[in-house]
Structure formats: C-alpha cells, structure tokens
Structure 1
C-alpha cells in the first residue's frame, strides 16, 4: 500500500495526460504536447543535476541536435525535388552527403539519439576524466552551446542559418496538419515521457541510483571505496543527452520548426530553471516544473503580453529565495509539519487522558 501511494501522483498525472485530448481544444493540446517534450528534457536534467550533482547549462544543444536530425528528414520529404528549398535558392543541385544520411526516417530517428549521446560522451569523458566539475563544468557546457550555435548559424548552406528549418508538411507521407496524426504524435510523446519517467524511477531506486547520490554527496569517498566515478558520470550524462535528443525529435514534429535560437544559452538555462522550480531531487518535480513553468509562460504571454516577463522573473526569484527544494520540496515540508503536529496532538491527548 505504501509503494502504491508513492506512485499514485504519477498515475494521476498520466491519467490526466491520456484524458487531455477529450477535453482540450486542438491548439491547447498542441501546446501540451510541446510541454511534454520539455518534461522529457527535465527528467534527464533531474538525473544529472538533482541525483548526480552535475549542473549542465548546455542541454539546449542536445535538444537542438535531436530536433535538427528529425527536421532534416522532414525537410527532404517536404521538398518535391528532394533538395531543401533554401539550398535550391543558392544553386545547389545535389543533396550534400550529410543530408543524404537523413533521407531515411529510421536513420534520422537513430541519429536524433546517437548524435547527442556522442557529443555528450566526448564532453563528459574528457572533463570528468580530468576531474573538472562544479562551476567549471557548467561554464564548459555553456561554451559548447556558443560554439555549436555559432557553427549552425555560420553554416547557412547546410543548416539554414538563423532561419533554421521549417515548412514541414508530412511525416511518413502522412499530413502533419491532420488532427488524427496530431493525436497520434501527442500519445507518442506521452508514451516516451512515461518510459523516461519509469526508467528514471527504476534507476534512482536501484543500487546505481544510490551510487549517483553518493557521487553527488561525496565523490572522493566513492573513489576511496573502489568505484570509478567517471564511468557513472559519463553514463548518466549520455543518458540525459539521449532524453534531450528524443525530446527535440518529438518537439519538431509538434512545433514544425527548429532554429539555432532554440538551442542557445537562454533555452539551456531555462531548462535548468524548470527543474529547480519543480524540485531537482524529484522526478515528479522535474515534470511538474516543466509543465507549470511553460504553461504559466504561455498563459501570461497570452493575457499580459507587456508585463509577463516580470511575473515569470518574480516566480524565479521566489523559488530561489524561499523554495530551494522547489514546489515538491515545499509540499513535503508542509506534509511533514502536518504529520508532526498530528503526532504532538495525539501525544498531548494521551497525556491528558492518563494523568493521575
């Protein structure tokens, strides 16, 4: 019964996700689908930051790489000649080899996971192996963002430059504008979020998860006991990059575009803020933070277009100053206080009853 109560918030949350298409309009459902993609990224950041203590400020790159891999396939499929329109405008008559790799949808799906994982492995191996951590790793991850974004903007003939990739019409020859296809993509996103959450819960409740927390709390002691902490850190970093790549791949199907701006420093920092607001030590908190922050951002920008950034900034300040463990941490604190007050009340009642 206790174990069921631990998972009941997740069951309620996913029941609401499954029921959402029956009471949300098409536009709102599309927004929710994008927010669910962001929640997948948040789960990965929770694993690497909340459980392992590695603050990555560059997950926007992994998200963008996954999105670009899928977008390249969609762009080829949307082009009658098989060559993207922005390439035709510059006189390109033959598809570049790097694009030819993504003419097959399955290779594009595989690349959306492999490419972010490969970059994360290179970055993680050479930094963690040299014991680079803390703020130094965060700065390096931000530097990678700057390099990758600059590379994508500068390679306009390959990536579309600042405009990015857009104007997608079909996926697997099915129209993306078809409401039935949109629902299928929505439930696909829910499925991948569910798999990510279940795998993260399994991981954090296993011996491996306890080792991750030990690395966070005392890496030198972990090394003293004979564990190679670099292996664990590289693995969890690659796993979080894979989740971000999958999220980017699903996002571009929902949103219909991807640009270098979406993988820059600001989106990368925002991803960390989602987890901080929800609670970085909780998988449920990470998902809640991503949904709540982006939902509030959408609502405020829609109804208060002139001042919505002030509201959002105030929320970030309140969380940092008064809720260091996020919303979930606040709920846990309230529940603990209520539980302790009930015990004190019961103890006082027994004392009054049995006084001689």
Structure 2
C-alpha cells in the first residue's frame, strides 16, 4: 500500500482534469463556464501561494503585483489588437486626442513579446525583489507587510496614470484574443479550456516539486532554517525559487483572467484582492496540494454569487469563515480529509485484542519448590 499512496495525488489531478476539461463543458451553460474560468484563474494564483506559504512559510500578501503584471501585459495586447494597426486605444483618444501611443505600449502589438512579457517580467521582478529580501534574511511579518505594500503601490500607480493605463476604469472592451473573436461561444470555450489546462499543469508542477529534493529542502527551510544553513544549503536560494514560481503562476493567472472576465482594474490587483487570494488558500488548506485551488474557487464562487446578491453581507460572511477556520482548522478544510483518513487507517491497522493468557497453575510438588 505504501508504494501506491505517493501516486494518489497524481490520480486526483487526473480526475480533476477530467471534471474541468470534459464534464464541465458538457453540463454547464456558457455563463457558468465563464465563471468557472474566472475561478480557475484565481486557483492558479492560489496554487503558487500554497507553494510559497504552505510549504515555504512565506506569507505572500502581495501576489496582486504579479497578477497585475500578467493581466496588464495581456490587456495591453488585447487593447491594441482591438484598436487595429496604427490606431490608438479609445480611452487614450478621449483623454488626449493629440497624444501618441506611449513607447512602452508599442512592443505589446507583438504576440510573441506579450507572451514573453507575461512569463519573464514576473520572474525578473520576483527574482530581484526576492534576492534583495531573502539575502538580508527578511521574513515573517516584515516580509508580509512589505509585499502587501508593493501591491498597494502598484494599484495607486496605475490609478494615477489615466492616460497610459486607463486609471481606475482600467482596460476593457476586448474584441479579439490572438486573432480569435471573443464574442464567439466556441472561442470562449477555448479560452476557458486554456485556463483549466494551465491550472492542471500548475498542480502537476507543484506535485513534482513537493515530492522532489527541493520540496524537502523547502519544508526544512520553513521549519528549521538555521539547520538547513548548517548543512551547507542557502535558505535564501531555496525560498527564492518558490517565490519566483509563485509569482509566475500569479502572472499567468492574471493573463488568463483578462480575456475571460473582459476587464482589468486596479481593484483586481490591490491589497484587498491579494488578501482575498490568501483567504482562499487558508480556507482550503495551505499545506495541501488541492486545498489552495479548491479554496480559491470556493471564495470566487462566494464573491460572484453572494457578493452580487448581498454585497454588504458577503464581506462579513468571508470574515466569519476566515476566523472560524483560523481558530478551529488552522490547516484548512483539507485537514478534515487527513484526519478522517488517519482514523480509517488506524482502525484498519490496529491489531485485534489478544485473548487473555490462561492462569498458570502449579503442581503441588512445584509449589513446594517455589516456597
């Protein structure tokens, strides 16, 4: 049995992939397919947070930064694609008809440059930032506050640059996705399938990292950083890899969020959005494989359903759920499955009660000897 159990997560990923890529398109309407695609985007970012926070112990409260980098890179390309060649986006014409296209927008006309920016930009930013922080052994609350401050700073910067980024109104009204018309249901299903496949791929990557030597070192760094350093490993490099992988997943999530939702604003990348990602990971279970993804999807469903029908009460429900989970299930809802599985295995492996040994009765001559 012990030889099969390490492969159980892989079987679970396969079942999850079938549900997302085969069952969901067959039974759900296009409205719910779009919603599920949005939940998949949040789940992709949550899987990366689970690696950095659950396995690495880094409370990344600023994943909105990398989510925003990928989202705005994709949004700029889709905006230019919708505007047509040698044309300005509509919002730029409204704010400054005589102005030209900003220089940093021009490369995003290229499909290849956009895809490279979505991948390389968060890797470079997270690599430089993580190297500067981890080499100076900044961790704990200081790291969490600093990362959240960066998300707030980026949201404020975008809000203040109306002519270049659209400001608080953001970027929207996308008509094409790399040549495909977004209003076509078949293309919407294609975009959803890409997001779902990327979620499955991220789960596979994290599963492989967790069972590798790197995964063991990451947990050891979380629990006993000084011992890892004493053994000859640099904890800063180990945490840096997890931080960069989490940033890349957040950027990919933001890039797929744009064509599915059809809009990106500073509200989607600020402090509140980053905290919402953390809440989903905490709800599902930050140290498990599927917990962050399922928790983020549950929070996304709650925000879409309850948040639209009861906007004033949804935030209180979210706060109450987060408090209850923190107090009574600090490892998230996934710990319930672990506890139940542990009880089942203990009940199966416990040996049957041995019959009581018969009382030893000595013969009369033996009794005399013992006396």
Whether the TM-score (by the shorter chain) exceeds 0.5 is: yes
Match of 1:37 in 2: 41
Counterpart secondary structure, 1:307: helix
Cα 1:305–1:128, aligned 2, differ >3 Å: closer, same or farther? closer
Q: 1:56 aligns with which of 45, 57, 60?
A: 60
Structure exhibiting the larger radius of gyration computed from Cα positions: 2
Distance, in Å, in 2 between the alignment partners of 1:9 and 1:305 is 35
Matches within 5 A, 1:264-279: 264-279=270-285
Q: 2:102 aligns with which of 74, 96, 107?
A: 96
Do the aligned residues in 1 keep the contact of 2:40 with 2:195 (CA within 8 Å)?
Answer: yes
Aligned length: 352
Distance, in Å, in 1 between the alignment partners of 2:106 and 2:275 is 33
Match of 2:367 in 1: none
Match of 2:20 in 1: 17
Distance, in Å, in 1 between the alignment partners of 2:7 and 2:151 is 41
Task: Report which stretch shifted further, 183-192 or 23-32.
Answer: 183-192
Q: 1:82 aligns with which of 83, 87, 94?
A: 87
Q: How far off its partner does 1:238 sit?
A: 1.1
State the Cα RMSD in Å: 1.7
| Structure 2 spans left out of the alignment, 5+ residues | 359-371
Distance, in Å, in 1 between the alignment partners of 2:140 and 2:312 is 37
Counterpart secondary structure, 2:104: helix
| Structure 1 spans left out of the alignment, 5+ residues | none
Do the aligned residues in 1 keep the contact of 2:73 with 2:118 (CA within 8 Å)?
Answer: yes
Q: How far off its partner does 1:224 sit?
A: 0.9
Q: How far off its partner does 1:12 sit?
A: 2.1
Q: 1:143 aligns with which of 143, 149, 156?
A: 149
Indicate whether 1:46 and 2:50 are aligned: yes
Indicate whether 1:71 and 2:75 are aligned: yes
Residue by residue over 1:206-236, the C-alpha shift from the partner in whole angstroms, topping out at 9 and shown as x without a partner, is: 0011011111011111111111111121221
Distance, in Å, in 2 between the alignment partners of 1:92 and 1:119 is 33
Residue by residue over 1:4-45, the C-alpha shift from the partner in whole angstroms, topping out at 9 and shown as x without a partner, is: 434333222221112101000100010000100111101110
Q: 2:339 aligns with which of 330, 333, 339?
A: 333
Counterpart secondary structure, 2:352: helix
TM-score (normalizing by structure 2): 0.90
Q: 1:308 aligns with which of 294, 310, 314?
A: 314
Distance, in Å, in 1 between the alignment partners of 2:122 and 2:92 is 25
Q: 2:181 aligns with which of 158, 162, 175?
A: 175
Q: How far off its partner does 1:180 sit?
A: 0.6
TM-score (normalizing by structure 1): 0.94
Distance, in Å, in 2 between the alignment partners of 1:70 and 1:136 is 31
